[in-house]
Structure 1
Amino acid sequence: MKEDTEAILTYLQVTAHTRPFLSACYEKIENRKAGQHAYNNAERFIYGLNFGQEYWKAAKDTPLSVQPLLYYYSLTHYLKSCLLTVDPGYPATAKVLAHGLSTRKRKKQHYRFLEDDIRIQPHGLFPYAAIHLFNYQPDKEKISMDELMRPLPYMQWIYHYKNISTELPEAPWPEFLTHFAILYNLSMLVRYEGEWWGEMQQLKDRDDYVFIVHYLQETSKRIPLLVSQWLKDQFTGII
């Protein structure tokens, strides 16, 4: 699986491979200027994959204190490359360049990560990717970290160990979007809640620490696999 992941991501970072791939993607959506758009977008597509890989590798080799930020940047670059396969004009406006998510900058006293939530904004990268990559429309404007983490298979044992309900939400998000949202929130903690983030790492006595550390360990494996699988599905659809 690791070899397949590296193969697809490496293959598509070569211009001679990228342009025919993008051209076929655009022909699939019946774009009349498929070849021209493929020529114009090839380098941006490649840079997105390259930056995604570099941030991902940097995150794996860096301390926990900054991992969420680097993993979030990695996934952001990967998402933008994926969007170029379905939307040759991306980004058409500045509106789609924002995060597309928001969270409280000032956390409540006795803050708990699993109880924290994010709000989905009408414009930005998240809602744009949800529709264009997964044809998915979240059914509510706000969702908690618990609701996002609980459906992930590799988080189940912690919920069992902590005697927390593992009842799943009715409509779990696509895993790609789940990681984007969780990493967004974690990256905001790194950037704006340094005292809480530092105490969590130092004391290691909160449930949040166990959930977050295990999640980040698993995310380091999942991000490139999800990206490569999505791109392979595009190959399957055009070959």
Structure 2
Amino acid sequence: MSNFSNNLEVIILQDIWQKLTYFHSAETTQKFLHHCYKESLNEKADIKSYENCYPFIYYLQHGELYYDQAAKAPMAIKPVLLFYGLIHLIKACLLSVDPNYPETTSVLAHGVSSRKRKKQQYQFSNDEIKIQKLGLCTHFAKQMFHVERLDGEKIIMKDLLEQIPELDEYFLFNQQPNMFIVHKLDQTFTIPITILDKYHLTLDSFIRFIKQRNCLEIQKVFTEGKNIILQTDLDSSPLLPFRFHLFKQEYCLPFKQSNYIYYPELVVHYLLLYNLSMIARYETEWWCELLKTTPTNDYSLIKGFLSITAQKVPYLVYQYLSKKR
């Protein structure tokens, strides 16, 4: 990345942590949680918001400590610090939608398993994980994003990496585009028309595809040159399958249509960091060889992802909480 991009990342991260200090006040956080609980808990909202305000604050502060240490740590242990930092931030978010978290011990497990690794010709991008029925992964996906039936899914790391918009330049370096940039100006979205070929859809079926997910209230559609123009009635942020490129400050659509384009990005980061943290802890020989000799494309992808997730996760958490506020 250019020096400008690196400076922008630092500014964005500092700004996000500063904004999250809004929730460091017990009085402010109790009012926030009361607002979150009042419809579901009614008269009990006062009690639960009081009980949960300090755990909420501590989760955020502890998460920030992990991210702060990860910024100073060598790459060898970054995945572990970032993963546990993410877990604490997720727990804070969960308290905004699940007043009784953790109601059972089953939601304390990670909820993901990794396969036994082959010692020869192993590549992280081809590695596979499996989402378990019980655990934090399925719990926060359901509670925070209303995503059901993740358990049993076997997922290849490359498919997850392709869902990270900021990794687009790493894929482009290998002549494998990662994202279509979607330009948004007020109530108008401009999408490259080549997306129809990649998704194997007609214009009408593409619009139905977008509308089915209720991510945009489309008022008018037309083509103009090499672009599809969508006009909406509100200047709103689109939902999945659109993703937001933090550094370019643009919306994107994944280059490939797959089941993973509907995975909330916090779930994507959780799964990738889980696997990388397991490798850093238990596959020391392979991990150290990767860091010392950089034999494959895995190194650039992993290093790029670790830099990006350190910036993106706090942003996603802030966006999630601010919308509820």
TM-score normalised by length of structure 2: 0.69
Correspondences of 1:114-125 after superposition (within 5 Å):
114-125=125-136
Q: Which has the higher strand share?
A: 2
* Structure 1 unaligned blocks of 5 or more: none
Partner of residue 157, structure 2? 145
For 1:124 and 1:30, how far apart are their aligned partners in 2? 24
Q: 1:227 aligns with which of 313, 317, 322?
A: 317
Instruction: Percent identity, please.
Output: 39
Correspondences of 1:1-239 after superposition (within 5 Å):
1-2=12-13, 4-137=15-148, 138=150, 141-164=153-176, 166=178, 167-171=255-259, 172=261, 173-235=263-325
| Conserved 8 A contact 1:147-1:169 | no
For 2:319 and 2:258, how far apart are their aligned partners in 1? 25
* Bigger mean CA deviation after superposition, 169-178 or 87-96: 169-178
For 1:165 and 1:131, how far apart are their aligned partners in 2? 31
Deviation at 1:165, TM superposition (A): 6.5
Deviation at 1:30, TM superposition (A): 4.0
Deviation at 1:205, TM superposition (A): 2.5
- Using a 3 Å threshold, how does the CA distance of structure 1 residues 2 and 207 change in structure 2: closer, same or farther? closer
What SS class does the counterpart of residue 102 from structure 1 fall into?
strand
Deviation at 1:141, TM superposition (A): 1.1
For 1:59 and 1:107, how far apart are their aligned partners in 2? 28
Deviation at 1:214, TM superposition (A): 0.7
For 1:89 and 1:139, how far apart are their aligned partners in 2? 22
Q: Which runs of structure 1 show a deviation greater than 6 angstroms over 4 or more consecutive aligned residues?
A: none
Quick one: which amino acid aligns to residue 106 of structure 2?
K
1:30-54 per-residue CA deviation (whole Å, 9 max, x = no partner) reads 4441010011111111110011100
For 1:219 and 1:76, how far apart are their aligned partners in 2? 13
- Using a 3 Å threshold, how does the CA distance of structure 1 residues 50 and 9 change in structure 2: closer, same or farther? same
- Using a 3 Å threshold, how does the CA distance of structure 1 residues 195 and 230 change in structure 2: closer, same or farther? same
Deviation at 1:28, TM superposition (A): 3.3
For 1:219 and 1:89, how far apart are their aligned partners in 2? 28
* Bigger mean CA deviation after superposition, 167-176 or 7-16: 167-176
TM-score normalised by length of structure 1: 0.93
* Bigger mean CA deviation after superposition, 180-189 or 204-213: 204-213
* Structure 2 unaligned blocks of 5 or more: 1-11, 179-254
| Conserved 8 A contact 2:266-2:316 | yes
Q: Which has the higher helix share?
A: 1
Deviation at 1:140, TM superposition (A): 5.9
For 2:268 and 2:257, how far apart are their aligned partners in 1? 13
| Conserved 8 A contact 1:119-1:141 | yes
* Bigger mean CA deviation after superposition, 10-19 or 126-135: 10-19
1:89-120 per-residue CA deviation (whole Å, 9 max, x = no partner) reads 01111100000111024445211101101101
1:188-227 per-residue CA deviation (whole Å, 9 max, x = no partner) reads 0001100000000000221100100011111111111111
| Conserved 8 A contact 2:131-2:151 | no
| Conserved 8 A contact 1:151-1:169 | no
- Using a 3 Å threshold, how does the CA distance of structure 1 residues 106 and 3 change in structure 2: closer, same or farther? closer
Q: Rg: which structure is higher? A: 2
